[in-house]
Amino acid sequence: MGWASGSELADEVWALFREHVPEASRKNVAKQLVDLFEGHDCDTMQECERLMKDAGREGYGEDESEDFFD
């Protein structure tokens, strides 16, 4: 069972702290935040566009099922 509202919380946390994270550390911190939420069963992190982009995980979790049956 996933934690769908977790992505909303992650988005809010990242919006609150992002500007306080030095740019040189931002990717690493964002990645750790994503890993933390996913480790606690948040299965909708792809909804956190800025966080996922900052973590270097753009396109992560995109639905590719359309191509699956082609």
pLDDT digit string (tens) for the chain, length 70 residues: 456 689 999 999 999 999 999 999 999 999 999 999 999 989 899 999 999 999 999 776 555 444 434 4
**Alpha carbon of residue 44 to chain centroid:** 8
41/28 Cα distance (integer angstroms):
20
Q: Global pTM?
A: 0.79
Q: Which amino acid, residue 9?
A: L
Phi-psi region at 41: left, alpha or beta (left = phi > 0; alpha = psi -120 to 50): left
13/32 Cα distance (integer angstroms):
13
27/25 Cα distance (integer angstroms):
6
